[in-house]
A and B are shown apart, each in its own frame.
Chain A
Amino acid sequence: MILFLADTWHLMLRHLRATIRLPIWIAMALIQPVIWLTLFGQLFRRVVDLPGFETGTYIEFLAPGVLIMTAMFGGAWSGMGLIDDLHHNVVDRMLATPVHRAAVIAARVLHASITVIVQSIIVLLLALALGAGWPSFAGTIGVLLAAALVTAGFSAMSTGIALLTRREETMIAVVNFFGLPLAFLSATFMSAQLMPEWMQAASKLNPVNWAVSAARHAVLGTDESAVWINSGLLLVFTVVMVMFATQAFRVYRRSA
């Protein structure tokens, strides 16, 4: 167990160093939420006039949604680095050492979650600048937890897909195909009560929606049990996805 934690930590530091050295990543991490928040925030400014929104301004409603969407994409793209590693024999080089197998996956998932937490804090600051206010301390912890969990789940899924397909093209297709529909089939942009019934039903099975609900209730401090229940669902989702990734890793090692 100690070896697993040490390996995970050392491998995670490798990913983190690579991220920090990639200025374009930092730029994108900043720019994307800015675009979503300002564009959608302006475009749909008046929707809060409709009944069914818990917030006074749309930016307050939108901020946790954009935060979770950014988190989801951060996790979903994290398998790309693994594909690069696979193509450059980095994974094989590691597998020829006693390194803990699970740590290879855990380090990627952990790295994705840590970078997303940093991004989330940036989103919260942006929202603050745009007039959304800052959540309470417990609310901040809650929203960051929801972001970290949804990232971990999607990162594990992405890792599994990377190991099974080993192709960037497939990864791009999958993330593009599922990413935005999952965001729109949730209360990211629109209050659940204003969605058509079938969408409401679908959103109840959508991990992105669980994360949005947890994050929004944490920020607004309205319904503590909703934060716990949705975080619990996210945890289950993450565990299932980690199991999928572990299994995919086994398939990869057997197929070599």
Chain B
Amino acid sequence: MDAIKVENLTKTYKGGVKALQGVSFSVAQGEIFGLLGPNGAGKSTTVRILATLTQPDGGSAFVAGHDVFKDAAGVRASIGYVAQSSGVDRWATGAENLTLQAQMLRVPAGQIKKRVAELLAWVNLSDVAGKLVNTYSGGMKRRLEIAMGLVHEPRVLFLDEPTTGLDPETRRALWRDLERLRRERDVSVLLTTHYLEEADALCDRLSIVDHGRVVVTGTPDALKADIGGDTVTIDVGGATATAEGVLKTVAGVLDVIANEHLVTVRVRDGAAAVPAVAAALNSAQIPVATMTVGRASLDDVYLKHTGHHYDAGAAPKAAAPAGPGD
């Protein structure tokens, strides 16, 4: 049985904002599944519906075998939910937060103390268990929240933008923690992110979400293999339009996409194509500042399926640190 099964989910907010226009995907037990998309794509709405916090308009959704529409109580008992903006009580200690969460999640009273101690050790917060959360760093807070999501040993854990607002170093550390989560605990994770790099590094499978729709689903590798071949990215110093015309005629080139400064050429074999590409640009007297050969990235996948380059919205692309998402 799938840990999560979502079919044709729709949601229109008051005021007519169409947040979801038919989202479908499924998550297998034990899998880390990503919803990747820019801010406002509908990721958080999807997670909120699956966590029973928002009412969907239509479609169907099952979480750990419970119908989100008919059995909200069953869903709540089997999920951990870590929202994108905290949710932790800043004026309580880490241990108190975990204890209260365990009580609300119906962990038997006799087991709470042991479970709390074990989890605090697991997320490496035992030393600060008695300190107010207000004194925690961003990364510590996140680790506590993840522990709170796991306190009742749920089958499904929702992580809504888990690394938004963290500095790059802390993000990397959290990735390692999530890797450990996958290895050491039998829990399915639905993770939303607007970082391509994060989805690539963490997810077993992912769906790219754009404007309330799932555009494509697959493993990061399969998605990249699917668009085929390599990319050659060339900085032609503004002469992109001319370069695009020239490069389209070069043998072995599958596709050329130009934007302001860069021309991206999709080819079957990057190393083999470089001489021909360079020669063609040279004979057309187009100066080349840099030329990079790379494997297809999720950005290329995104570009192919949505028709536009990935733009996380307010947040800068990829590894750059970002402010808290909206």
Greatest chain B CB density within 10 A among A14, A93, A99, A256 is at A93
Decide yes or no whether B233 CB sits under 8 A from chain A.
no
Residue of B nearest to A254 (CB): B55
CB neighbours of A60 from chain B (8 A):
none
Report the minimum CB–CB distance from A93 to chain B (whole Å).
Answer: 3
Q: Is A88 a contact of B85 with CB atoms below 8 Å?
A: yes
Do the beta carbons of A98 and B104 come within 8 Å of each other? yes
A202: Cβ under 8 A from any B Cβ: no
A98 and B55: CB pair below 8 A? no
| B48 and A97 form a contact (CB under 8 A) | no
Bound: A256/B72 CA distance, A: 15
CB pair B77–A89 under 8 Å, yes or no, is no
Point out the residue from B54, B77, B86 that lies within 8 Å of A98, measured CB to CB: B77
Tell me if A96 and B92 are in contact (CB < 8 A): no
> DSSP majority for the A interface?
helix
Closest Cβ neighbor of A7 among chain B residues = B104
Contact of B92 among A7, A14, A98, A256 (CB under 8 A): A14
Check A98–B105 contact: CB distance below 8 A.
Answer: yes
Q: Please, which residue of chain B has its CB at the minimum distance from the CB of A87?
A: B85
How far is the CB of B13 from the nearest CB of chain A, in Å?
9
Known A88-B86, A88-B87; judge A96-B73 contact (CB<8 A).
no
Q: Nearest A residue to B89 by beta-carbon distance?
A: A90
A6 at the interface (CB under 8 A from B): yes
Q: Contacts A88-B87, A92-B53: A98 and B103 contacting too (C-beta < 8 A)?
A: no
Compute how far the CA of A96 lies from the CA of B154 in the bound complex, rounded to whole angstroms. Answer: 12
Q: Give A95 to B104 CA distance when docked, in angstroms.
A: 10
Contact with A along B80-105 (1 / 0, CB 8 A): 01010111111110001000110111
- Give A10 to B112 CA distance when docked, in angstroms: 13
**Majority SS at the chain B contact face:** loop
Q: Which residue of A lies closest to B52 (CB)?
A: A96
The residue of chain A having its C-beta at the shortest distance from the C-beta of B97 within the complex is: A14
- Count: A-B pairs, CB below 8 Å: 68
> Does A93 contact B77, Cβ atoms closer than 8 Å?
no
**Interface residue B51 (Cβ < 8 Å from any Cβ of A):** yes
Any chain B CB within 8 A of the CB of A46? no
Nearest CB to that of A18 among chain B residues?
Answer: B91
Within 8 A of A (CB), among B154-171: none
Kindly provide the distance from the CB of A212 to the nearest chain B CB, expressed in whole angstroms: 33
Q: Report how far A23 CA is from B275 CA in the complex, Å.
A: 73
Question: B300-323 toward A: CB 8 Å interface, digit per residue (1/0)?
Answer: 000000000000000000000000
A11 contacts the other chain (CB 8 A): yes
- Please indicate which of the listed interface residues B87, B100, B104 has the most CB atoms of chain A within 10 Å of its own CB: B104
Contact with B along A14-29 (1 / 0, CB 8 A): 1001100110000000
In the assembled complex, how far is the CB of residue A214 from the closest CB belonging to chain B, in whole angstroms? 34
In the complex formed, the residue of A with least CB distance to B101 is A97
B83 CB contact (under 8 Å) in A7, A92, A254:
A92
Q: How far is the CA of A14 from the CA of B90 in the complex (A)?
A: 11
With A and B bound together, what is the CA distance between A121 and B92 in angstroms?
27
Task: Check A90/B53 contact, CB under 8 A, given A6-B103, A96-B79, A97-B105.
Answer: no
Q: A18-B91, A89-B86 are in contact. Are A95 and B53 (CB under 8 A)?
A: yes
CB distance B85 to A255 under 8 Å? no
Asked if residues B91 and A90 are in contact (CB atoms below 8 Å), the reply is no
A94: Cβ under 8 A from any B Cβ = yes
* Docked-complex contact A17 and B88, CB < 8 angstroms: no
In the complex, what distance in Å separates the CA atom of A21 from the CA atom of B48? 33
Bound together, the chains give a CA A93 to CA B139 distance in angstroms of: 19
Of residues 108 to 151 in B, which have CB atoms within 8 Å of A's CB atoms?
A: 132, 148
Whether A90 contacts B104 in the complex (CB less than 8 A), given A96-B51, A96-B53, A98-B77, comes out as no
Please, what's the 1-or-0 string for B234-260, where 1 marks a CB less than 8 Å from any CB in chain A? Answer: 000000000000000000000000000
Which of A18, A89, A95 neighbours the largest number of chain B CB atoms within 10 Å of its CB? A89
**CB pair B103 A10 closer than 8 Å:** yes
The 7 closest A-B CB pairs, nearest first, are A93-B87, A96-B81, A89-B87, A99-B104, A97-B104, A96-B51, A18-B91
B residues lining the A interface (CB < 8 Å)? 14, 48, 51-55, 73, 76-77, 79, 81, 83, 85-92, 96, 100-101, 103-106, 132, 148
What are 11 A-B residue pairs whose CB atoms fall within 8 Å in the complex?
A: A6-B103, A10-B100, A14-B89, A14-B92, A14-B100, A18-B89, A22-B91, A89-B87, A95-B52, A98-B77, A256-B54
Since A7-B104, A98-B104 are in contact, a sample of 11 more A-B pairs with Cβ atoms closer than 8 Å, ordered by chain A residue number, is: A17-B91, A18-B91, A92-B48, A92-B53, A94-B104, A96-B51, A98-B73, A98-B106, A99-B104, A256-B54, A256-B55
